[in-house]
Amino acid sequence: MLNWLQNLADLLGLPGGRPKAIPEALWQKTLKRYPFLAQRPAAQRQQLRTLVGQFLQHKEFTGAHGLTVTDDMAVAIAAQACLPVLQLGLSWYDDFTGIVVHPGAMLARRETRDAAGVVHHYKEALLGEAMHGGPVTLSWQDVAASGATAEHGHNVVIHEFIHKIDMRDGAADGCPPLPSRAAHAAWHDTMQAAYDGFCEQVAMAERFGGAPPWLDAYGATAPAEFFAVACEAYFVNRERFTQDFAALTVLFDRFFKRK
């Protein structure tokens, strides 16, 4: 099988080499796989397609555990990764090149120290991981399911790439680099209020068995996770997200669309 990415890679290093346009059939397949991309206005889809070509030119995909990353998979990941930076630009992702794709969830070794000073070792199932200044790791099984899980506001690719955006100014703290002190203050106020309300809702549901909130409760674990989880929903199910977080939609529009 002709590997289109390999052809693309061959262009790298050639002076004036331009990224090849993504083949029509492959692009259409990607849109079909992810209705939240297909539903975007034609001009935005075209812009995304161009950005995806540039993204693929600069990123390196590696399959873990014997997984072969096909063109199909690379374009699927790239198309979702580029969505948050459609207006911001690819320079937001210029601190890394590697994207590692696992066949399914990864088991990561973790340890915690309890109040008595005892260290507990355990394994945690991860759908993805983003390292500061390093690669993004993703579970293909979950990337592939992202068309269907958009209904619930889930998207593992967007989640991890939002962490990368968040970490542009250091630690993942739920606040990306912003242009001014005023923007920073507005971000903090709006996010903090939404986060506090959400944590309260999650806690109430857990304590009293009430209905859990629509947004993934994982967002209540830390401000950085809240930012990532909220953005997943904002990008793949804006309408439903806005019902619960209208103020965040305005805040995110201002940041991601540079309004």
Binding site for Zn ion (CB under 5 A): 225, 228
Nearer to Zn ion, 56 or 231 (CB): 231
CB 217 within 8 A of CB 230: no
Cβ closest to Zn ion, residue 77 vs residue 228: 228
Q: Rounded to the nearest whole angstrom, what is the least distance from the CB of residue 100 to Zn ion in the complex?
A: 16
The pair of three-digit structure tokens given for residue 176, joined into one six-digit string: 């990306």
The structure tokens 């993942």 sit at 172
Q: Which two tokens stand for residue 161?
A: 């790439």
What minimum distance in Å lies between the beta carbon of 158 and Zn ion? 11
Non-local CB neighbours of 82 within 8 Å, separated by 6+ positions: 48, 51, 52, 55, 90
Shortest Å distance, C-beta 159 to Zn ion = 6
User: Taking the complex as a whole, how short is the minimal distance between the CB of residue 138 and Zn ion, in angstroms?
Assistant: 12
- Name the minimum Å distance from CB 34 to Zn ion: 20
CB-nearer residue toward Zn ion: 216 or 225: 225
Using CB atoms within 10 Å of the CB of residue 109, give its burial: 0 to 12 exposed, 13 to 18 middle, 19+ buried.
Answer: exposed
Q: Are residues 150 and 132 in contact, defined by beta-carbon separation less than 8 angstroms?
A: no
Which residue, 30 or 146, has its beta carbon nearer to Zn ion? 146
Among 20, 43, 27, residue whose Cα is nearest residue 75: 27
Strands 119-126 and 106-113: antiparallel
Pick 145 or 222: Cβ nearer Zn ion: 222
